[in-house]
Structure 1
């Protein structure tokens, strides 16, 4: 199955980071490792600051993101998070 970008152009095949990012989001969400794996440096720093400011309550966000990542197919994950760079949820 060919993956298309927002303009309908074919996107070269790439390896999905879905499982790695999902597990890291669930297990190590406090450190925002899943954001850095996907190349979202700004969002990763925001997540770390939010976790520090809320004494860890903001770790629910990466936990939910990890579940969302794992519930998507590889093609859907690549199109949404690796190609279109959707930073949150």
Structure 2
């Protein structure tokens, strides 16, 4: 069972935020938060659709990851836990 104590999740919040900014196009930040379906979706869009669109889909997914990473880092610990662990909000 995951520990939902807001004081124990700042490392996960920082890791997901930084990975969203750096590797967001591949959905790494989604996997860190436990959203495997959303992570695979971002990964598949980046690789498969990126191949057919000459990288445009990868750029779009990277922008989504960048925005989500900034959102993660700008939330307080309590808001972060409430939004992504209690309410299970998968996107933005």
**TM-score (norm. length: structure 2):** 0.77
The correspondence for 1:72, drawn from 62, 71, 75, is: 75
RMSD, aligned CA: 1.6
Unaligned residue ranges in structure 1 (runs of 5+): 1-10
Unaligned residue ranges in structure 2 (runs of 5+): none
* Deviation readout 1:35-75 (Å, 9 max, x if unpaired): 00100000000111121214212211011000000000000
**TM-score (norm. length: structure 1):** 0.80
Greater helix proportion: 2
Aligned to 1:13: 5
* Deviation readout 1:2-60 (Å, 9 max, x if unpaired): xxxxxxxxx95252221110000001112211100100000000111121214212211
Q: How many residues align?
A: 79
